[in-house]
Amino acid sequence: MGKEIKFSLVYRDMWQSSGKYVPTVDQLVKIAPVIIDMGCFSRVETNGGAFEQVNLLFGENPNTAVREWVKPFTKAGIQTHMLERALNGLRMYPVPADVRRLMFKVKKAQGVDISRSFCGLNDHRNLELSVKYAKEAGMISQVGLSITHSDIHTVDYFMGVVDKVVEYGADEICLKDMAGVGRPHSLGLLVKKIKARHPHLIVQYHGHTGPGFSMASMIEVAKAGADYVDVAMEPLAWGMVHPDVLAVQAMFKDAGFSVPDINMKAYMEARHLTQTFMDEFLGYFIDPRNRFMTSLLIGSGLPGGMMGSLMADLKGIHDGINRYLKENNKPELSTDDLLVKLFEEVQYIWPMLGNPPLVTPFSQYVKNIALMNVMNLIKGGERFAMIDNNSWDMILGKAGKLPGTLAPEILALVKERGLTFFEGTPQDNYPDELDKYRQEMKDNNWDLGQDDEELFELAMHDRQYRDYKSGVAKKRFEEEIAKAKSEQETSSAPVVVAPQNNKPKGSKLAEIQEKYPNAKPVIVKAGGRVYWEADFEQKSIPMAVGTEIKEGQTVAYLQTFYGPENVTANFNGKVVAVCAEQGELIDKGEALIFIE
């Protein structure tokens, strides 16, 4: 009998890599016993990353969702694991240390066994507290290496990270091959070296199928001593997701490994239920292109998990770019033409930006810069004409140390803008905040929750949690679903609904005007994507209500199809309502903020 290989089902990641939403708690509870009946999974990924924010967007309590989803697996003896982003916790921007610490206590109390912690820059300093706090809470600490491919990201480079996190007390290592661009041979060498130097470590492989390497990578890491592999199951396997468990099992059997049997009756039932969830509403938010693999990802290195948002971005600017081209007597571009241009631009600028592994949130930062560059180049402009604040923070080292070297062009921009590089430990930038949020809950008469879990949700996802508590999130989601269903009924073509904007139309506009009859809107003169000038640690709040504004002041920037454009206020006053989020698309003639 050959070496045993165990399977972990990344059910949440299957959905996140396909579209905007993941299943509701009712759907998760329905499929959990069927997944257990399949009899082949030693582990299931249950929460973390964007999962709990999606619950809030539904108007659901994420703590209830985690407890209900984890419970049946724990009872069945199946380990559960979460995904967290080290310095960024469960969100896209840095988290104070006291909130990070509470997260592990809460998740352990909710029944989660393993914390998979990764830093998008592979900066071990950001991972130190994740390991410490996970162990302190009684969780298994699994550190994820953000795998990518370049001359910098060698086996020795990754071993440098492994050695440090082992010093900190990590129990396991995950090869988080988020774009699936890790080369099979090199990944095998890495696992072999990990096992030779640290034989006590469990090694797990997580690889998206986008560019096509992951099945070969699974075999190579298994031969080198890996213990677990992450798998998906149809109808949400392959494409930008992960390999289906049936194919993985057959491949390992043929290679002589010991793998678990699969209850095919339960597999077919799980497949059916997943399709049912898609038919109910989740399929409205899945771009068909994410169901296909593409070797174009080999060059760009973009992760499967962000392809849903990327396609929505392209959809948002495609018409505008073609209008510009048509007006200037230039040939128009298809969506595929634009996609290739974006991939090529990412590949070109990635080393110029210091080779950050393209994983959340750094994949979004590099993609955003590339998208702006593509638009500027199409209209005859220059690269790097606009870089948003998130990306600047990455460049300046506020999120951690970049693996590579910044290009002279970027260094010149830093000097031109009078910016300075940050050399300290990133966590030191973000003071503790739990007392502030505890006071807010007290002022609102909100329950801190079992094991302080409600306090944690407010501190981690403050804006989304407030919308959940007020009922705004649920109402918004119901309106979005109604719109999606209506569009499907009026079209014979497959419906793909891009993420909807929370714009003050209809009843929302009337509500603002009724509450603030003297308020004046700041109207955008062109359609585009909104970028707010917010502090790095405040990215969840585009512009605070109550901010004093002066006439002529720039309040935000728009990424338009023809390039960046300032949005300025044409009167003095105080902000009473904010109508768009960071990175959100807004149409010409719509209100960005209201000033009174």
Q: For 514-545, what is each residue's pLDDT tens digit?
A: 778 788 888 877 667 777 653 333 344 567 78
Where residue 461 falls among pLDDT bands split at 50, 70, 90? Answer: very high
Mean pLDDT, rounded, for 443-463:
96
More confident residue, 583 or 326: 326
Q: Is the pLDDT of residue 38 over 70?
A: yes
Q: Is the pLDDT of residue 497 over 60?
A: no
Mean pLDDT, rounded, for 51-67:
93
Mean pLDDT, rounded, for 50-73:
93
Predicted pLDDT at 306: 61
pLDDT digits (tens, 9 = 90+) for 212-245: 999 999 999 999 999 999 999 999 999 989 999 9
Provide, rounded to the nearest whole percent, the portion of the chain with pLDDT above 90. 57
CA 189 → CA 155, 231, 282, 532, distances in Å? Answer: 7, 22, 39, 44
Predicted pLDDT at 307: 59
Closest-CA residue to 540 (of 511, 498, 578, 490): 578
- Residue 2 near residue 37 (C-beta atoms within 8 A): no
Predicted pLDDT at 422: 92
Mean pLDDT, rounded, for 391-420:
93
At residue 297's C-alpha, the angle toward residues 296 and 300, to 5°, is 100
Mean pLDDT, rounded, for 305-317:
63
**Fold of the 6-290 domain:** TIM Barrel (3.20.20)
More confident residue, 365 or 74: 74
Predicted pLDDT at 73: 98
- Residue 105 near residue 134 (C-beta atoms within 8 A): no
Predicted pLDDT at 537: 35
Mean pLDDT, rounded, for 79-97:
94
Predicted pLDDT at 305: 58
Q: Which of these ranges, 141-155, 399-413, 573-587, has the smallest mean pLDDT?
A: 573-587
Predicted TM-score (pTM) above 0.75: yes
Query: In angstroms, rounded to a whole number, what is the distance separating the alpha carbons of residues 110 and 74?
Result: 11
Where along the chain do its domains lie? 6-290, 294-427, 501-595
Q: Is the pLDDT of residue 561 over 70?
A: no
Closest-CA residue to 204 (of 109, 113, 332, 91): 113
Q: Give the range with max mean pLDDT: 46-60, 194-208, 274-288, 492-506.
A: 194-208
Predicted pLDDT at 494: 40
Closest-CA residue to 373 (of 352, 347, 394, 342): 342
Q: Give the range with max mean pLDDT: 186-200, 286-300, 326-340.
A: 186-200
More confident residue, 262 or 179: 262
Cis peptide before 361 (omega within 30 of 0): yes
Query: In angstroms, rounded to a whole number, what is the distance separating the alpha carbons of residues 556 and 565?
Result: 9
Among 2.40.50.100, 3.30.70.1140, 3.40.50.2300, 3.10.20.600, what is the CATH number of 501-595? 2.40.50.100
- Residue 111 near residue 64 (C-beta atoms within 8 A): no
Cis peptide before 235 (omega within 30 of 0): yes
Mean pLDDT, rounded, for 549-564:
69
Query: In angstroms, rounded to a whole number, what is the distance separating the alpha carbons of residues 521 and 504?
Result: 11
pLDDT digits (tens, 9 = 90+) for 323-381: 888 888 888 888 788 888 888 898 999 999 999 988 878 888 888 898 888 888 888 88
